[in-house]
Structure formats: C-alpha cells, structure tokens
Structure 1
C-alpha cells in the first residue's frame, strides 16, 4: 500500500481513539492535589498517553500539567504541541458534544478540530513514520497540553521541567502555516460620570460583545427616537421598552472572535452610537463613542496602525455596571512589527478626559518568523507537496497558540481556509477526508524538520 492507502486503512482506528478523547469533558475544572486543572483535563491526558503507549511510544506525564509521547534518539527534539482541554460546550447543539457522531465525511463533537483531532492526527503521523523505518536522527516528541484555552500554564510548567525544542509546530490553527501571531494587549475603560442607570453585556473578553441591555432615565420622545436609530443598524434584534420613568434597550449583535472583530456587530457599541444620535446627553456615551466606538481599529486611542502583515484590531468584549460605574473590557491584537514602546508612545495622552478613563493591562509580545526561515519553508513545503496548493501562502494571524509559549515552533494546520469548523461553537466538527490528508502532511513535515 502507498502512504494514503495506509492512512485510510487506519481511519476507523483513529476515529475510535478520537472518540475516547471527545467523551471526556476536559474544560478547566477545580484544581485538586496532583490535578492542577481539575479532573477532566487530567483524565483526557491519561487517555491520550494510554493511546500513545498502545501505539508503541514512550510516554511521560508531567504532573498532569501536560505529557508527551516520544520516539527516536538524539540530542535535538522535533516538537509537536497540541492540547486536550476544551472550551465550554455552550450553544444549541444538534449532536451530543461528548459523543463522536459521524454523518458522512463530517464527524461532530467538542474538540474534534480544537484540538483533540489534530493531536490524534499528529500521533498517527508519528506511528506511520516509526513503522516505515524512517531514520530518526532526532527525537520526535508530541506534547499534549491541558490548559491552552485558559492561559497555557501547562507549557510554562513544561518549560520549567523539560528540554527546549529544537524546532516543531502546533497543529492548532490553519494551513498552509502561520509564521506570525500578533501581539496582545488588554485595557479596561471606566466611566467617571454617567446618567446611564445600568449597562451589561458580553460574556468573554476575547469576543465581540454580541448582546447588551441598557437602562437609562426616560425622556419625552426618547423611546421613539431610539427605535428609529436602532432600526437603521445591523443589529440582529433590538427592543426598547419604557416603564416607571426608565427606558430599557436590549440589543443583539453578531458574535466574533477578538482577533477578527470586524466580522461581528458590537451590541454595546451600536447602543452607544444610537443613544448619541437620539439626543441622549451623557458624559460616558461621549467618551465611549470617541475612544472605543464600533470601528475596531483603535483609532479612538491613537492606535490605527498596520504593517505589511495586518492591521491592529480593537474589541470591546464585556460591559458591566457595578456601584454606578460602567466598565468595558478591551482586547487588542497588535501587528507583529510593533513593539511595546511603540504602542505605549502612541496611546499617551489618549486614554483619559473628563468623561472617562482607560487603564492598560497585560501586554504580550508578538511572534514572528521570517517567511524565508528554514522552519517556515520546511512546513510550507510539506503542505504543498501533499496538497498541491500553491495559491495559499504562509500568513500572520491575530490569534495566539502554543507557539508563543514554546521556543522554535509555529502553528501549522489543520484547518483549511474558508471552512467554518465551528470551533468554540455548537456542532464543532472535523472532516474525515481532511483528517487523513493532515496525517500525510504531518508525516512530511516531521521528515522535513528532521532534515533541518
């Protein structure tokens, strides 16, 4: 049999093992002794390592933070880093999220694409290479992490107790490959004076605020003006009610990841725009519209910047009211060629006025490998050689992966551009045909990395 036939012959076995992982609710749980991320992630890790042992690999559990399967000999390590933790189920599922369900080429379940399926793909790529007798002049190590979705503390622990990787990849993004990941910056905006009684919306800081409920004092004719303004927006739904001298505005926008906020509709931002257009005079409405707004480009704080690899993105995720103060989370993804000082210099003087203030929180550096670097070339060549796709090129993304936590690796597959695999959403799926193709791509990638 040729390689593709060998992979296809293992397809059902791969799905059976993927089903074992999908069956575990491995979202972040309550820490306990020896289980830093709770029961679920620890159970998923043990199952992942058991699958690896059954396939003939040496395995190591690093205190239930993460573990690895390894083959080969040598000083250098080709690393592959995937994760077994998941985000909460959420949404309205057609299928049981913790039971692998196949419908033709589609296989549904939480973690099928992010990232349990890719872990299985990488593991079987290693198995097929091992069985083929290919010369392993380096060790090949598949690291299975348990905390990628909520902080990557698993990789911080790996760096404390294990050897540095020589080169490698994380199968937790897109093909053809990711040679840069934007920097990250968080901010918090606060009202100083506001007539808004309450404003609450959004559920996570790294996604567009897609729903918002706002309560303001009633004014003559204001309800009708707001309804007119809201009718001219792109909100999915809105409702304005008036009772007991108060007006309540419900706005439903469109969700989107913070790395691509222009794909969403910010319900809080649209509400603020409509309040101003309807003639509701308020200090924080002015501040929000001037400094945050709905543009998603950071122009309100002096951060409308871009480089050849992409633009800065600016996302308001959560809005809430506590003790009469409105706060807003802000998630910023910074173009890869801009450094911390560049950003701080640009925002100086733009974060506060008499109507509100913005505080700078965490700042994370970008990740960037030149397009012509040996690592990028080795992975991109593997993708092209297997798929024949030369149209799509290595790219930079706004999201973050284990590549920012481990040295000398970049994100590489398995998602195809233009396909919505519903990761982080209901009915997440993987395509069996793409799973088989990814195994072959990862086999070629490992061989290319062994040759660097």
Structure 2
C-alpha cells in the first residue's frame, strides 16, 4: 500500500489546507443569492471545491447547498459525507478561533476537529489513492455539506438532486466504528398557569437552558415574596440540607433564584448537571401549597428531575443494541401564561417515537400537563456489525492503530450517516481522546490529522477496490 507512504509527503500541504479553511468563519448566517446558508458556509464550500480541482478531482457545486469531489470509475460509489459549517465560536479562547494557529503541534480553531480537519484529511487520502494508481472498481465521492450544525438542509438538497452512494461513512464522530445511532425527537411538555402565586410567593419569570440538545448549565426564577425574612431562612435551611448550587439575590420584595449546572451533550445527560432540575428541586422546597405552579414543580421533581432515562415519566425504554433511552430537559420558560419545558430524547434503535409519546401521555394522563409533539423525528440508524461496511472499517481501524480489542459501538448522537442507507460514522476521535468538539480552544494535533488521513485512505481503498 504505497499510497500510505505518499501521505507523509503531503504533510505540509495537509497542514496548510487545514489552516486555510479554518480561517473561514463558516457559521450559518442570513441567506444571500446562491448562498442559502449565508456567506461563511458558501466561502468554505468554494474553498473546498477549488482545492478539490487543484488536487485533480472532478468537482461540482450544487447551488451553494452542497458540493462534491470525486474520482474513479464504476457503477457503484463509496461516499464520504463531511461538513464545512461550524457552530459559533463562543468565548474564552486562548488562540484566535479563526486563526488556524499552530501551538505545541496542534492546529487551533473552530472546526479543526468538527469537521474541517477530517474533511481535509479525506481529500488528501483520495489524492494518495489517485496518485498511487491503485486499481479501484468503485468511484469515491467526498460530499461537502454546509449546514449540518443547523438543520441538514444541505443533505436534503443533495439527496433530492443526486443519486445516493452505494455505501459510505462520515468522519464526524468517533472510532472505531459507530454502527448504530438512536432516534432523536424534540418536544414540549406544557402546562397552563391560571394563577402564578401561592402562599404569598408569586412567580414572575422562569427560564433556563440554551438549546434542547444541551444539558442546561443555568436556570433562574424571579419571585415576588411577601415575607423576605422567612424566605431567606428557608433558603439557608435548604442549602444546609442539600448543598445544591443555588444562589439568591434579594431586592426589596423580589428574589432572583439562580441555579448553576454543568453543560454536556443532550445525548449524554448523565455527564452533566441539569440546572433546571436543581432549580425545580429548590422551588419544590419553597412552594408547598396547592396551585398550578406547585403541580408542575411536583410532577417535574417526581417524574423527571435527576432521572436521565425517562423511567419516571413513562418512556424508560431500552434495547440490547443501543441501551437505555436518553432524556434531557433542555429548555424551560414561562410564556403567555404557561410553562413550556422542551425535552430532547434519544430513543433506542429497536423502539419508536410513538412508543415514547404514548408512554408519556399515559403517564401524565389526569395531570394538567400537555405533550406537544415536535415537527421532526430523526429515525434510528442501524447497520449490522457483520455487514461488509462495518467489518471492513473495523479491519482497517485495527490494522492502522494496533487497537485489536475495541468493538463497534452505538451512540445517542446523530451524524450525516443517517442521511442515507448503508452508512456509518467512522472517526475522527480516538477512544480516550479529550472531547474538544463545540468547545473553546478546539484543536486537532498534526499527528492526529496525519493518522486519520492514512486511516481514511486505507478505508477508501478497501471499500472501493
């Protein structure tokens, strides 16, 4: 496999190309003509297509929604689905988020790991195969998406206008191979609040969370309290008993209650600390009467709070492939006379969203809660472990890394793999590596970048030969 050795010769090019594409701020913006997701994602797509042509591939721009680079012959196609858009940079970076700077052998910047670095790695893996002159019986096509982080409009457009690859992978998750992904739904639990006061305490506002698929790291409630001294005493008793991260700020007869949590991905709620659950626990200590607010708080604390698998609210589903359902209360707000709690659920591969909804409705029957279904249902992905695709990728991974003990895995997250039949997620993160995706100081080490380029070259060869 002399194409593996060729990759070492591309080291400088691979690093430079990664740096250059990182410098493009490809966060979704307002659409412009021929730029459906804004100027940033379009510029990243342009860069990728121009680089593809420079490397000798056929390249096509699909009206600014997506694009692809390909080479080879044959009726069948191996597809690699990657994305060029990124989430916003956030704050607190040590190095410029769009600088592509190298420090201690690492390239820093938003998108280095997710998913621009792996995209560049795949391009140069294809170059190695092309220049080595190996005989392939299938075409190889690298598909560039431009709005993976915010809606998948790019993939919807692509598959509406282009034939789906025969099989493929996305370099946008973890090694060794992810052969299954749970189904994903987002929905609301809502309750009308006819009266927002109880026992001389009135709730003025309630809010928390940043997105349904994130464990909320902050939540707050604004209360009007008649007896501040009594409230303050009760607060001190609670903190002494529970030691939860709750603080209060008192101004006249208004109290701001603040709960701090620890964020995590909505697919792994157990890895975070839910600020909404902390807040509801405290409010349950304060509101002890019979009122609409009390009803909601009690139901939350009894059936949702600090439970991560839906077991308290009728959807504690589980299967032997993907394990337990993941249940994340991601957002809460008091709006137009009702409390709206937004839930992100990752349901097991062998179950359905209908089972989730039916279970919850049965559980809350007789309460004032109403379940409002979401508009989308991202169905589970499953490719058998003994399939040609999974077995081939596992073989390549073990040969390239020497890790012979790892087995294919399932996840609660969702990748481009579920956009087509017979696709899985394959890298780029190795087991045990720090998770830098969507975080400040996102980076990819140059050695990591070179290693995945070799893995992807080998994988594409085995799939296409």
Range class of TM-score, shorter chain: over 0.9
State how far apart, in whole Å, the 1-side matches of 2:218 and 2:240 are. Answer: 16
1:6 CA displacement:
3.1
Tell me whether 1:188 sits opposite 2:188 in the alignment. Answer: yes
CA contact (8 A) 1:91 1:425 kept: no
Compared CA separation, residues 40 and 232, structure 1 to 2 (3 A): farther
Query: Paired residue for 1:317?
Result: 330
Compared CA separation, residues 392 and 364, structure 1 to 2 (3 A): same
For residue 434 of structure 1, the aligned residue among 448, 451, 455 is: 448
1:2 CA displacement:
5.7
State how far apart, in whole Å, the 2-side matches of 1:432 and 1:185 are. Answer: 37
In structure 1, list runs of 5 or more residues that go unmatched: none
CA contact (8 A) 1:190 1:326 kept: yes
Compared CA separation, residues 227 and 153, structure 1 to 2 (3 A): farther
Compared CA separation, residues 355 and 216, structure 1 to 2 (3 A): farther
Q: After the TM superposition, which residues 379-394 of structure 1 pair with which residues of structure 2 at under 5 Å, given as runs?
A: 379-394=393-408
1:371 CA displacement:
1.0
Query: Paired residue for 1:206?
Result: 213
For residue 365 of structure 1, the aligned residue among 372, 379, 392 is: 379
In structure 2, list runs of 5 or more residues that go unmatched: 198-202
What are the superposed Cα offsets for residues 382-401 of structure 1, whole Å, 9 maximum, x if unpaired? 11111110222110001001
CA contact (8 A) 1:198 1:326 kept: no
CA contact (8 A) 1:44 1:84 kept: yes
Tell me whether 1:265 sits opposite 2:273 in the alignment. Answer: yes
For residue 241 of structure 1, the aligned residue among 230, 238, 249 is: 249
CA contact (8 A) 1:70 1:142 kept: yes
1:300 CA displacement:
2.8
Q: How many residues of Structure 1 are paired with residues of Structure 2 in the alignment? A: 450
For residue 221 of structure 1, the aligned residue among 211, 230, 236 is: 230
Query: Paired residue for 1:283?
Result: 295
1:351 CA displacement:
3.5
| SS of equivalent to 1:46 | helix
For residue 333 of structure 1, the aligned residue among 337, 346, 351 is: 346
| SS of equivalent to 1:259 | coil
Give the superposed CA RMSD. 1.8
State how far apart, in whole Å, the 1-side matches of 2:263 and 2:410 are. Answer: 22
TM-score (normalizing by structure 2): 0.92
Compared CA separation, residues 232 and 162, structure 1 to 2 (3 A): farther
Post-superposition, which runs of at least 4 consecutive aligned residues in structure 1 deviate over 6 A? none
1:318 CA displacement:
1.4
CA contact (8 A) 1:223 1:247 kept: no
1:319 CA displacement:
1.4
State how far apart, in whole Å, the 1-side matches of 2:330 and 2:361 are. Answer: 23
Compared CA separation, residues 15 and 379, structure 1 to 2 (3 A): same
What are the superposed Cα offsets for residues 400-449 of structure 1, whole Å, 9 maximum, x if unpaired? 01111122211100111222242111000112111111111111111221
For residue 251 of structure 1, the aligned residue among 251, 259, 267 is: 259
State how far apart, in whole Å, the 2-side matches of 1:360 and 1:35 are. Answer: 32
Deviates more, 1:100-109 or 1:172-181: 100-109
1:373 CA displacement:
1.1
Compared CA separation, residues 191 and 347, structure 1 to 2 (3 A): closer
CA contact (8 A) 2:4 2:457 kept: no
Q: After the TM superposition, which residues 39-438 of structure 1 pair with which residues of structure 2 at under 5 Å, given as runs?
A: 39-193=39-193, 194-195=196-197, 196-218=203-225, 219=227, 221-230=230-239, 237-278=245-286, 280-281=288-289, 282-308=294-320, 309-361=322-374, 362-438=376-452
What are the superposed Cα offsets for residues 163-213 of structure 1, whole Å, 9 maximum, x if unpaired? 111011000000001000000121212232343221111111110111011
CA contact (8 A) 1:57 1:71 kept: yes
TM-score (normalizing by structure 1): 0.95
State how far apart, in whole Å, the 2-side matches of 1:49 and 1:265 are. Answer: 42
CA contact (8 A) 2:67 2:143 kept: yes
